[in-house]
Amino acid sequence: MREAIGLSKSPMLAIRDLSYSFEARKPIFQQVAIDIQPGEFVSVIGPSGSGKSTLFKLITGLLEPDQGEILIDGQKMETRLGLVGYMPQKDLLLPWKTVVDNVLLPLEVKKENKQQNMSEIRKWLSRFGLAEFEKAYPHELSGGMRQRVAFLRTIMTGRELLLLDEPFGALDSMTKRNMQSWLLGLWEELQKTVLFITHDLEEALLLSDRIYLLERTGTFQEMKVHLSRPRNPELIYQSEFIEMRKELERRIHHE
Ligand SMILES: Nc1ncnc2c1ncn2[C@@H]1O[C@H](COP(=O)(O)OP(=O)(O)OP(=O)(O)O)[C@@H](O)[C@H]1O
Ligand SMILES: [Mg+2]
């Protein structure tokens, strides 16, 4: 089903010949080329400080490349701001707004009719296990709940391409496993294209069709994940998964 997606369409994201450096610093990216097809789930891994979050800021348009181009759904736009759903590394919920108002933010920005969307949003809140917390404030939520609110807000942008920067980074391993199976189910259903940053190799393998390894040279190495779908977190105990994990570790250490 999902395998057929995107065969004849233009890539959801195309990065060509990208170079970038912060002022007077060593380049973070050098002539990077990345293609993401519609419906793909792709992870980015790499050491802390290697430039993963910077890549996302370039894609969203918060930063402009020194060289090269970034096309979203085949279009090269003057400004890319607002074209993708972006979940930053920190959840950035507004502390003075309730759960439901945080979730409604993208609609507020787009000036859409809130009332019209409320029944739809209630449905989503309940799918995200947040129905009873609609009127709660971020400080009353657990870390996992805050992440779900931030993620729901990213989905409410209505964008096809979602950039998720370490969404489960701060969670304990049990909560993380739950969130992973939940995300797998949701992604299967929503058919979104996801670019996902993580430090967790098992998470990258479990979720992704492909993994990009960001190397110290500022280039990306690609690895395909040949595991059938649908997947569930039990997969990590199977031998084919363990083999892929070894292969990934080999590639990381030989960079
Ligand atoms: N606004 C900035 N000005 C100057 N340098 C910056 C700025 N933002 C990030 N950097 C530098 O760019 C490099 C990449 O940072 P980035 O946040 O993209 O790393 P990362 O791969 O996301 O790391 P982590 O895994 O810790 O989140 C780092 O060396 C960082 O110090
Ligand atoms: Mg980062």
- Enumerate residues 6+ apart whose C-beta is below 8 A from 115: none
Name the amino acid, one letter, at 81. Answer: L
Ligand that lies nearest to the alpha carbon of residue 47, given by its number in the listed order? 1
Mean pLDDT, 10 residues at a time, over the chain (255 residues)? 55 95 88 95 95 95 92 79 86 89 80 72 89 96 89 90 91 85 89 95 96 91 94 92 96 80
**What is the SS3 assignment for 14?**
strand
Q: Which CATH architecture has domain 1-84+159-202+217-255?
A: 3-Layer(aba) Sandwich (3.40)
Of all protein residues, whose CA lies closest to atom 10 belonging to ligand 1? 22
Q: What residues contact residue 54 under an 8 Å CB cut-off, 6+ apart?
A: 20, 28, 29, 63
pLDDT at position 114 is 65
Give dist(CA 9, CA 239) in Å, integer: 35
What residue ranges do the domains of the chain occupy? 1-84+159-202+217-255, 88-158
Q: According to the 3-state scheme, what is the secondary structure of 103-128?
A: HHHHHHHCCCCHHHHHHHHHHHHHHC
- Tell how far CA 227 is from the center of its chain: 20
Residue recorded with tokens 């990381």: 252
Q: 48 in ligand 1 pocket by Cβ < 6 Å?
A: yes
SS3 146: helix
N- to C-terminal Cα distance for the chain? 35
* Nearest alpha carbon, ligand 1 atom 18: 51
The atom number, within ligand 1, closest to the CA of 199 reads 25
